[in-house]
């Protein structure tokens, strides 16, 4: 069989890996969007680098857009097979891909306004909500731990990757000339102590591992301090200074972690009586999906739910779906906590909240997630005194703080713990994907120091014969 790296090569987005069996069957692992700088994305996302009509099946590791976000285009360009995913991943994809389609459509409107002025032809959005509907019909759910046979050569089993709800490690068995090749694709690897979902579980012995390496050279802060730090910032901002606390957060995962942290503080009588708003329709939808999959929750939250059956809701918390209610929140000067997306602050309702409060020194922006270089979030976090939002220059007067303990990705010690179930001598090769190049080189050294003998860092379109 041949493994071809079709994305996430020396970068953290655009996950796509193609397997071609001896008999010519083609199985695609993930079909993600590139989410780097807008200029590069356009080209990379429109051209998949293979003929979608020739792909027999897709196996999807999880619902994040950098892993699932190009599936609608795959279908639009002629893919007719099935997309295998866990039930939670399917349900999350239904809401996340729809949201992604709206972003594609509004991006196209924005770009076309500029193109019209420049006398250029309009572009079509990458895909639309209609394409997402068609795409969702191709999903076929496979629960964790059920060995599933795709054809006479390929079968697989999902094991829990502990990264987000429904996330899976894909353990493939490929029959070739009377032999079985075991190939593991880690997808994204979660934390050992996630607040809500279970830790990554052991997976069966592999001959080859395609391994993510996002934090291959970093260790995370202790998650235990996050709750204390959050409480302290709430008190300083909302009680002492009577300002607003803005928390940009990814709709899936981070939002629920923050809400759950506040819910626990509230139950323990520690949270001051301040209004809390989750201002994001996607976050509301994601929270609803999460509540359907309590079987994916870890023991800590299940135990907590014996005293509070809704860990994502308390008296002072309001979820805001309607755009008019969001605008009303912008106009109010009352102290409150606003949790909104996008986490990177490049788009979404949070950008309006920042725009409206950036000049008020009693307000605080609390960064709890990854902010890419040169994003608005990154510029604020590094302490820029002036930033441009919606074409307007603003003097930054609001406080900008951060908590580094929240992350959905394992740090390198956690990846080693995840890999500890493997007999290193039996692993013939590890392919590092989904990381920045410098991080990958550091991680490769760490892996080799621990006894993995063959670690490669593929470039885009590199291919390998595995046997
Ligand atoms: Zn992910």
pLDDT attached to residue 71: 98
Mean pLDDT of 142-148: 98
Question: pLDDT digit string (tens) for 265-298?
Answer: 999 999 999 999 999 999 999 999 999 999 999 9
What is the 62 CA–ligand 1 centroid distance (Å)?
A: 7
Residue 99 above 80 pLDDT?
Answer: yes
Domains assigned to the chain: 2-218+408-465 (3.60.15.10), 224-402 (3.40.50.10890)
What is the 304 CA–ligand 1 centroid distance (Å)?
A: 26
- Closest to 247 in 3D by CA, of 356, 323, 342, 321: 342
Give the 3-state DSSP-derived string for 360-373, with helices as H, strands as E and coil as C: CCCCEEEECCCCCC
Residue 423 above 80 pLDDT?
Answer: yes
Tokens of 404: 């580094």
What is the 366 CA–ligand 1 centroid distance (Å)?
A: 22
What is the 189 CA–ligand 1 centroid distance (Å)?
A: 8
**420 to each of 10, 388, 397, 426, how far by Cα in Å?**
24, 47, 48, 13
What is the 278 CA–ligand 1 centroid distance (Å)?
A: 22
CA angle 377, 402, 355 (to 5 degrees): 40
How would you classify the pairing of strands 57-59 and 275-279? unpaired
pLDDT attached to residue 293: 97
Residue 37 above 80 pLDDT?
Answer: no
Question: Which band of pLDDT confidence, cut at 50, 70 and 90, is reported for residue 300?
Answer: very high
What is the 65 CA–ligand 1 centroid distance (Å)?
A: 8
Question: pLDDT digit string (tens) for 386-415?
Answer: 999 888 899 999 999 999 888 899 999 999
pLDDT attached to residue 249: 94
- Closest to 138 in 3D by CA, of 33, 68, 188: 68
What is the 163 CA–ligand 1 centroid distance (Å)?
A: 7
What is the 249 CA–ligand 1 centroid distance (Å)?
A: 14
| Global confidence as pTM | 0.93
What is the 306 CA–ligand 1 centroid distance (Å)?
A: 30
| Side-by-side strand order, sheet with 463-465 | 139-141, 82-85, 57-59, 26-29, 17-20, 2-5, 463-465
Mean pLDDT of 47-57: 96
Question: pLDDT digit string (tens) for 444-460?
Answer: 999 999 999 999 999 99
């Amino acid at each position: 069989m041949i493994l071809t790296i079709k994305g996430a090569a020396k970068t953290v987005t655009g996950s796509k890996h193609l397997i071609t069996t001896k008999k010519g069957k083609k199985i695609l692992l993930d079909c993600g969007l590139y989410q780097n700088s807008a200029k590069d994305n356009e080209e990379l996302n429109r051209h998949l680098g293979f003929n979608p009509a020739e792909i027999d099946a897709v196996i999807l590791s999880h619902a994040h857009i950098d892993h699932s976000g190009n599936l609608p285009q795959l279908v639009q360009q002629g893919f007719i097979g099935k997309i295998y995913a866990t039930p939670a991943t399917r349900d999350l994809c239904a809401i996340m891909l729809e949201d992604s389609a709206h972003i594609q459509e509004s991006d196209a409107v924005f770009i076309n306004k500029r193109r019209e002025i420049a006398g250029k032809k309009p572009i079509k959005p990458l895909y639309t909500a209609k394409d997402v509907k068609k795409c969702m019909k191709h999903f076929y759910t496979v629960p964790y731990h059920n060995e599933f046979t795709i054809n006479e050569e390929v079968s697989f089993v999902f094991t829990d990757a502990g990264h987000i709800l429904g996330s899976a490690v894909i353990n493939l068995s490929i029959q070739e000339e009377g032999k079985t090749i075991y190939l593991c694709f880690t997808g994204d690897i979660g934390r050992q102590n996630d607040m809500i979902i279970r830790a990554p579980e052991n997976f069966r012995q592999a001959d080859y591992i395609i391994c993510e390496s996002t934090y291959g050279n970093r260790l995370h802060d202790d998650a235990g301090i996050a709750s204390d730090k959050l409480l302290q910032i709430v008190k300083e901002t909302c009680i002492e200074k009577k300002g607003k606390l803005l928390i940009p957060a990814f709709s899936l995962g981070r939002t629920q972690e923050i809400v759950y942290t506040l819910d626990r503080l509230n139950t323990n009588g520690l949270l001051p009586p301040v209004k809390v708003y989750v201002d994001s329709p996607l976050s509301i939808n994601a929270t609803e999906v999460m509540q359907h999959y309590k079987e994916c929750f870890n023991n800590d939250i299940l135990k907590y739910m014996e005293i509070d059956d809704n860990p994502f809701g308390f008296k002072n918390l309001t979820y805001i779906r309607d755009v008019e209610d969001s605008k009303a929140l912008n106009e109010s000067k009352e102290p409150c906590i606003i949790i909104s997306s996008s986490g990177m602050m490049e788009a979404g309702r949070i950008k309006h909240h920042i725009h409206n409060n950036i000049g008020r020194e009693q307000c605080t922006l609390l960064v709890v997630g990854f902010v890419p270089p040169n994003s608005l979030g990154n510029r604020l976090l590094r302490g820029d005194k002036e930033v441009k939002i919606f074409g307007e220059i603003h003097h930054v007067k609001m406080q900008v703080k951060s908590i580094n303990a929240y992350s959905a990705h394992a740090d390198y010690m956690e990846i080693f713990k995840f890999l500890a179930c493997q007999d290193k001598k039996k692993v013939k090769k590890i392919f590092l994907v989904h990381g920045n190049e410098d991080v990958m080189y550091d991680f490769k050294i760490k892996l080799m120091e621990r006894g993995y003998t063959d670690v490669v860092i593929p470039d885009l379109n590199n291919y390998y014969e595995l046997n």
